[in-house]
A = this chain, B = another copy of it.
Amino acid sequence: MERPRHQGMAKNTYMRWRLPLVCLLWEVAMVVLFGVFVRFSPEADAHWEEEKREMNLTSDIENDFYFRYPSFQDVHVMIFVGFGFLMTFLKRYGFGAVGFNFLLAAFGIQWALLMQGWFHSFKSGKILIGVENLINADFCVGSVCIAFGAILGKTSPIQLLVMTLFQVTLFAVNEYILLNLLHVKDAGGSMTIHTFGAYFGLTVTRILYRPNLEQSKDKQGSVYHSDLFAMIGTLYLWMYWPSFNSAISDHGDAQHRAAINTYCSLAACVLTTMAFSSMLQKKGKLDMVHIQNATLAGGVAVGTSAEMMLTPYGSLIVGFICGIVSTVGYVYLTPFLESRLHIQDTCGIHNLHAMPGLIGGIVGAVTAAAATEDVYGKEGFIKVFDFTGTYQTRTPSVQGGFQAAGIVVSLLMAFAGGAIVGAILKLPVWGDAAAENCFEDDIYWEVPEDEESDVYHMHNPDKPASP
What string of 1s and 0s marks CB contacts (under 8 Å) between A21-49 and chain B?
A: 10110111011001100111001111111
Would B243 and A73 count as touching, CB distance under 8 A? yes
Could you jot down 7 A-B contacts, CB within 8 Å?
A15-B284, A19-B284, A45-B257, A73-B240, A80-B238, A92-B458, A218-B458
Interface residues of A in 288-309 (CB under 8 A from B): 288, 291, 295, 309
The residue from B62, B217, B218, B270 contacting A102, defined by CB atoms under 8 A apart: B270
State which of B30, B224, B270 has its C-beta within 8 Å of the C-beta of A447. B224
Residue A427 lies at the interface, judged by CB distance under 8 Å to chain B: no
By a CB distance below 8 angstroms, the chain B residues around A217 are: 465-466
Interface string of A443-460 (1 = CB under 8 A from B): 111111111101101110
A39 CB → nearest B CB, Å: 7
Closest to A251 in B: B60
Distance in Å: Cβ of A282 to nearest Cβ of chain B = 7
For the complex, would chain A's binding face be called helix, strand, loop or mixed by DSSP majority?
helix
Q: CB < 8 Å: which of B50, B252, B274 contacts A103?
A: B274
**Cross-chain contact A266 with B106 (CB below 8 angstroms):** yes
- A27 lies within 8 A of B272 (CB): yes
| Chain B residues closer than 8 Å to A162, beta-carbon distance | none
Decide: A239 near B70, CB < 8 A? Known: A62-B61, A278-B15: no
Interface stretch, picked from A189-197, A372-380, A416-424, is A372-380
Q: A91 in the interface, Cβ–Cβ < 8 Å?
A: yes
A285 within 8 A of B: yes
Chain B nearest CB, measured from A266 CB (Å) = 7
Binds B, one of A201-209, A227-235, A392-400: A227-235
